[in-house]
């Protein structure tokens, strides 16, 4: 029996010292033996860099790159350029994985002969709440179906994590440096290179929601990147699959709601806020009567129809009780 190929796990690290040991320990505990763990210290100013070096000194599977701070995209790109494995996985340094994470993703890829595999994940909130997105289902999807499910948020997400990529997919694809929500501008490019994608819905990745993460921290103008990058994703997908126009419309409306939700208590970017509300109202009926759209989309559209102040109160109530 031939040896299994080397898998490189790229972990971008920036000021996550309290969480980094949990992350790296979970990778060192992987049941998959052929592993390269590449810790990319993106100019951390806390103890993260020293922790990375300590792990490299204890385990030969760990390599460390120290670099000037360039952001998450730059750290991912640096890891991709330095990897020596045949396969690539990303793990965020404040998240962690179950012991069979890499083995499961590799088994899926080989079972269905796909260059990309996806697994389920759990979401752990800082207040102790937990959510699971997973089951025991496993299957392969053609590219069109994959993108349709991503647009409708049906199990598949744009997250760089929770996936295993064959080196042949990388090519000239790089994460957009200086942009937030960089995976929204990149993951779909990997998916569009695949004829099929292997999916296993078992939860093997733990996504930790922190109050100071990019998603949950206060609003900044840079967060409008989500809209721009998502629109680009929709346009490039429609160039290949024009029949997904309805699904793409749902995605465009969804990311505008998602961005509005981070602008509820700010007066910044008023023109952009008004433009997003106009877009949602202009295109909302198409989503409201789309049978594939989630019910929460229809609820959000109804609340916004009564005015932004009503929507604001309704979302805050929902966010506190159900997220």
Instruction: Examine the domain organization and report whether 144 and 25 are in the same domain.
Output: yes
Q: Is the pLDDT of residue 22 over 60?
A: yes
Look at residue 132 and tell me whether its pLDDT is greater than 90: no
Claim to verify: residue 284 and residue 189 sit in the same structural domain: no
Residue 2 lies in a domain: no
CB-based burial of residue 136 (10 Å sphere; 0-12 exposed, 13-18 middle, 19+ buried)?
Answer: exposed
pLDDT at residue 13, rounded to an integer: 98
Q: How confident is the model at residue 130 (pLDDT cuts 50, 70, 90)?
A: confident
| Domain end residue (candidates: 183, 209, 235) | 209
Instruction: Name the pLDDT band for 131 (thresholds 50, 70, 90).
Output: confident
Domain boundary among the residues 160, 178, 209 is at 209
CA distance 295 to 293: 7
End residue of a domain, out of 209, 244, 276: 209
Do both 243 and 201 map to the same domain?
A: no
User: CA torsion sign, 283 to 288 to 291 to 294?
Assistant: positive
Residue 62 · residue 24 · CB < 8 Å: yes
Residue 30 lies in a domain: yes
Binning pLDDT at 50, 70 and 90, where does residue 127 land? confident
The yes-or-no verdict on residue 214 having pLDDT over 50 is no
What is the rounded distance in angstroms from the CA atom of residue 197 to the CA atom of residue 43? 35
Is the predicted pLDDT of residue 97 greater than 50, yes or no?
yes
Can you give the pLDDT at residue 213?
A: 47
What are the backbone angles phi and psi of residue 40, rounded to the nearest 5°?
-105, 100
| 264 and 132 housed in the same domain | no
1 in a structural domain:
no
CA distance 266 to 295: 27
* Co-location of 177 and 248 in the same domain: no
The residues near 29 (Cβ < 8 Å, ≥ 6 apart) are 99
Query: Are residues 48 and 145 part of one domain?
Result: yes
The mean pLDDT of 4-21, rounded to a whole number, is: 97
Domain total for the chain? Answer: 2
Residues 35 and 163 in one domain: yes
Mean of all residue pLDDT scores within the chain: 93
Q: Look at 136 and 167; give whichever has higher pLDDT.
A: 167
Whether the per-residue pLDDT at 152 is higher than 80: the answer is yes
Residue 216 maps to a domain: no
Same domain for 82 and 177?
yes
- Expressed as residue numbers, the domain containing 72 is 7-209
Find the mean pLDDT for residues 127-153. Answer: 90
**Is the pLDDT score of 204 beyond 50?**
yes
Instruction: Examine the domain organization and report whether 240 and 318 are in the same domain.
Output: yes
Residue 264 lies in a domain: yes
Q: Is the pLDDT of residue 76 over 80?
A: yes
pLDDT category, 218, cuts 50, 70, 90? low
Mean pLDDT, rounded, for 250-267: 94
Q: What percentage of the chain reaches a pLDDT higher than 70?
A: 95
Task: Give the model's pLDDT for residue 322.
Answer: 59
Q: Are residues 138 and 26 in the same domain?
A: yes
Residue 188 is part of a domain; what is its CATH number?
Answer: 3.90.550.10
Which residues are within 8 A (CB) of 121 and not within 5 positions of it... i.e. 6 or more apart?
133, 134, 161, 162, 203, 204, 205, 206, 207
Phi-psi region at 207: left, alpha or beta (left = phi > 0; alpha = psi -120 to 50): beta
pTM: 0.92
Confidence of residue 170 (pLDDT cuts 50, 70, 90): very high
Mean pLDDT over residues 67-95, rounded? 97
Would you place residue 216 in the very low, low, confident or very high pLDDT band (cuts 50, 70, 90)? Answer: very low
* Structural domain includes residue 172: yes
pLDDT tens for residues 27-65? 999 999 999 999 999 999 999 999 999 999 999 999 999
Residue 16 belongs to some domain of the structure: yes
Which of 134-138, 156-160, 318-322 is predicted least confidently? 318-322
Residue 1's pLDDT band (boundaries 50, 70, 90)?
A: very low
186 and 304 belong to one structural domain: no
Instruction: Please report, rounded to a whole number, the percentage of residues in the chain having pLDDT higher than 90.
Output: 84
Q: Give the pLDDT mean for 6-35.
A: 97
Within-domain flag for 274: yes
Whether 237 and 181 map to the same domain: the answer is no
């Amino acid at each position: 029996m031939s040896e299994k190929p080397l898998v490189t796990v790229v972990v971008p690290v920036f000021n996550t010292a309290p969480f980094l040991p949990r992350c790296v320990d979970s990778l060192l505990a992987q049941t998959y033996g052929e592993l390269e763990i590449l810790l990319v210290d993106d100019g951390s100013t806390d103890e993260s860099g020293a922790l990375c070096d300590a792990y490299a000194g204890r385990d030969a599977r760990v390599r460390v790159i120290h670099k000037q701070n360039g952001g998450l995209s730059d750290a991912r790109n640096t890891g991709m350029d330095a990897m020596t494995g045949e396969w690539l996985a990303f793990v965020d340094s404040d998240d962690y994985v179950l012991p069979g994470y890499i083995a499961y993703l590799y088994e899926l890829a080989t079972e269905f002969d796909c260059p990309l595999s996806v697994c389920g994940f759990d979401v752990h909130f800082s207040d102790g709440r937990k959510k699971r997105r997973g089951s025991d289902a496993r299957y392969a999807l053609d590219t069109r179906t994959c993108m349709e499910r991503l647009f409708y948020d049906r199990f598949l997400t744009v997250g760089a994590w929770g996936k295993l990529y064959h080196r042949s997919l990388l090519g000239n694809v790089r994460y957009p440096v200086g942009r937030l929500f960089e995976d929204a501008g990149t993951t779909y490019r990997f998916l569009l290179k695949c004829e099929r994608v292997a999916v296993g819905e078992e939860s093997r990745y733990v996504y930790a929601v922190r109050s100071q993460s990019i998603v949950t921290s206060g609003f900044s103008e840079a967060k409008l990147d989500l809209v721009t990058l998502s629109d680009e994703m929709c346009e490039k997908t429609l160039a290949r699959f024009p029949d997904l126009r309805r699904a793409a419309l749902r995605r465009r409306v969804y990311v505008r709601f998602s961005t509005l939700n981070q602008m509820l208590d700010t007066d910044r970017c008023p023109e952009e806020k008004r433009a997003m509300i106009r877009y949602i109202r202009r295109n909302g009926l198409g989503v409201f009567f789309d049978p594939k759209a989630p019910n929460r989309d229809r609820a959000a559209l109804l609340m916004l129809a009564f005015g932004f102040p009503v929507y604001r109160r309704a979302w805050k109530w929902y966010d506190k009780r159900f997220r």
